[in-house]
C-alpha cells in the first residue's frame, strides 16, 4: 500500500479511503497512520463487524504470527460512513460473525439490545438497522469516555482475551466473531467461577449465541494448554498474570480482573469444550 501511495503521489493532505470489512479498515488505516508519518483517512465499513466494532475507535494494525494486533497505531479516521444497506450482500456467516460483537455490546452496556438479540434470527433481521445503531452507540459511548484505552475502554475486551487466543490457535479457522462468541461464554463461566457473576448468566449468553447460529463451545481439537500459553502473548498481558474484562451482570463489566488460578481457567475451558453426544 505504501508503494502504491507513492506511485499515486499521495501527499500529507491526501485522504485514504478504506472501503471494506475489518481487514481492509485495519490495514488501510495502518498504512494511512504510517505513510508520511500519518495522512488522513476515511472508513466505509461494509461488514457488520466493521460497522459496529473495528471501524470505530481509531485502532489500526496488523497481526504477527505470535499474536493479534502486535503492530499498529491509534489513528482515528476523519469520518466513518455506515450504510447498513450494503449488508444485503454480506454472506450470512459473516453477518453472524458480526452479531457476536452486537451481542457483546448488549452485554456491556445495552440490556435492551441483548434482549433483541435473544429474540432470535427473525427479529435480528427485521430490526437490523436498529441493532447496528444501538451497537455503534455502545462502542462510541465507551471510546469517547476513554479514547486511548487508559481505563474503561478495556471493557470492550469482553470475550477477547480468550477469543484472540482461539483465533490464533485455530489458525484463523474460527473467524474473529466466532472466536469472540466462544470467548464470551468461557469468560462468563470464569466470572461465575470466581464469584463475580451470578450462576446462570453464562448459560443465558450461550443460548442467545446458539440461537443466532454462533459457536459457543471450544472446538475439541484445540489444546487447552496451547490456548492458555497463547493468551500470555496477548498484548494486554500484565507481567505474568492474565487480566480479563468480565461480566458482573447484563450492562455491567469489570475490567482488569486478574486471574492467577490457572487450574480454574483449565477447568472452565474443559467445561466449555465441544463434546459430541
Ligand atoms: N481495529 C479494531 O478495533 C478491530 C476490532 C475488531 C476486529 N478487528 C479486525 O477486523 C477483522 C475482521 O473484520 P471482518 O469480520 O469485517 O472481516 P473481513 O474484512 O475479512 O470481511 C469478511 C468477508 O466479508 C467480505 N465482505 C465485506 N463486506 C461485504 C459486503 N458488504 N458484501 C459482501 N461481502 C463483503 C470480505 O470481502 C471478506 O471476505 C479482523 O482482522 C479483526 O482483527 C479490528
- Could you tell me the distance, in angstroms and rounded to a whole number, from the CA of residue 42 to the centre of ligand 1? 16
Measured CA to CA, the distance from residue 9 to residue 31 in angstroms comes to 14
Instruction: Find out whether 180 and 232 touch, Cβ atoms under 8 Å.
Output: no
pLDDT value, residue 148: 81
Q: In this structure, what DSSP letter does residue 111 have? A: H
* Residue among 26, 47, 147, 183 whose CB has most ligand 1 atoms within 8 A, to mutate: 47
Count Cα neighbours of 277 within 13 Å in the Cβ-side half-sphere. Answer: 0
Secondary structure of residue 79 in the 3-state scheme: strand
pLDDT value, residue 234: 63
Angle at CA of residue 91, ends 96 and 51, nearest 5°: 60
- Could you tell me the distance, in angstroms and rounded to a whole number, from the CA of residue 200 to the centre of ligand 1? 32
Q: Is the CB of 59 under 6 A from ligand 1?
A: yes
Q: Is the CB of 160 under 6 A from ligand 1?
A: no
* Shortest-distance atom of ligand 1 to CA 177: 15
pLDDT value, residue 239: 61
Measured CA to CA, the distance from residue 209 to residue 110 in angstroms comes to 16
Closest CA to 150 of 234, 251, 256, 240: 256
Secondary structure of residue 24 in the 3-state scheme: helix
CA dihedral 157, 149, 98, 105 (to 10 degrees): 70
Measured in Å, how far apart are the chain's first and last C-alpha atoms? Answer: 49
Measured CA distances, 145 to 51, 60, 93, 223 (Å): 19, 19, 32, 38
- Could you tell me the distance, in angstroms and rounded to a whole number, from the CA of residue 119 to the centre of ligand 1? 25
pLDDT value, residue 236: 54
Q: Return averaged pLDDT per consecutive 10 residues of the chain, 277 residues in all.
A: 98 97 97 98 98 96 83 96 97 96 98 97 96 98 90 94 94 95 98 96 97 95 94 64 92 93 93 77
Shortest-distance Cα residue to atom 19 of ligand 1: 21
pLDDT value, residue 207: 97
* C-beta neighbour count of 151 within 10 angstroms: 11
pLDDT value, residue 240: 58
Shortest-distance Cα residue to atom 9 of ligand 1: 22
CA dihedral 154, 56, 69, 89 (to 10 degrees): 130
* Residue among 50, 70, 180 whose CB has most ligand 1 atoms within 8 A, to mutate: 50
- Could you tell me the distance, in angstroms and rounded to a whole number, from the CA of residue 47 to the centre of ligand 1? 6
Q: Is the CB of 188 under 6 A from ligand 1?
A: no
For 60, the grid coordinates are 489500526
Shortest-distance Cα residue to atom 3 of ligand 1: 54
Instruction: Find out whether 97 and 54 touch, Cβ atoms under 8 Å.
Output: no
* Residue among 41, 43, 45, 49 whose CB has most ligand 1 atoms within 8 A, to mutate: 49
Instruction: Find out whether 154 and 245 touch, Cβ atoms under 8 Å.
Output: yes
pLDDT value, residue 276: 61
CB burial readout 99-121, b (16+ within 10 A) else e = bbbbbbbbbbbbeebbebbbeee
Measured CA distances, 220 to 169, 239, 275 (Å): 12, 29, 7
Closest CA to 157 of 249, 237, 240, 42: 237
- Could you tell me the distance, in angstroms and rounded to a whole number, from the CA of residue 122 to the centre of ligand 1? 23
State residue 87 phi and psi, 5-degree precision: -70, -15
Amino acid at each position: 500500500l505504501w508503494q502504491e501511495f507513492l506511485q499515486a503521489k499521495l501527499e500529507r493532505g491526501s485522504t485514504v479511503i478504506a472501503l471494506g470489512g475489518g481487514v481492509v479498515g485495519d490495514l488501510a488505516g495502518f498504512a494511512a497512520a504510517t505513510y508520511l508519518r500519518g495522512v488522513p483517512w476515511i472508513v466505509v465499513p461494509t461488514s457488520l463487524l466493521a460497522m459496529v466494532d473495528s471501524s470505530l475507535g481509531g485502532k489500526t494494525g496488523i497481526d504477527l504470527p505470535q499474536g493479534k494486533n502486535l503492530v499498529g497505531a491509534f489513528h482515528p479516521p476523519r469520518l466513518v460512513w455506515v450504510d447498513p444497506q450494503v449488508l444485503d450482500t454480506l454472506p450470512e456467516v459473516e453477518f453472524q460473525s458480526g452479531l457476536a460483537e452486537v451481542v457483546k455490546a448488549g452485554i456491556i452496556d445495552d440490556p435492551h439490545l441483548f434482549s433483541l438479540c435473544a429474540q432470535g434470527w427473525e427479529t435480528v433481521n427485521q430490526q437490523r438497522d436498529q441493532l447496528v445503531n444501538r451497537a455503534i452507540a455502545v462502542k462510541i459511548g465507551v471510546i469517547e469516555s476513554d479514547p486511548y484505552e487508559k481505563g474503561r475502554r478495556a471493557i470492550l475486551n469482553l470475550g477477547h482475551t480468550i477469543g484472540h487466543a482461539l483465533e490464533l490457535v485455530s489458525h484463523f479457522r474460527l473467524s474473529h466473531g466466532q472466536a469472540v462468541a466462544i470467548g464470551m461464554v468461557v469468560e462468563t463461566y470464569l466470572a461465575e467461577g470466581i464469584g463475580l457473576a451470578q450462576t446462570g448468566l453464562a448459560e443465558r449468553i450461550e443460548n442467545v449465541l446458539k440461537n443466532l447460529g454462533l459457536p459457543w463451545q471450544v472446538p475439541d481439537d484445540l489444546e487447552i494448554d496451547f490456548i492458555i500459553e497463547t493468551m500470555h502473548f496477548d498484548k494486554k498481558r500484565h507481567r505474568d498474570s492474565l487480566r480479563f474484562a468480565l461480566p458482573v451482570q447484563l450492562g455491567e463489566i469489570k475490567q482488569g480482573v486478574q486471574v492467577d488460578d490457572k487450574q480454574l481457567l483449565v477447568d472452565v475451558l474443559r467445561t466449555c469444550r465441544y463434546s459430541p453426544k
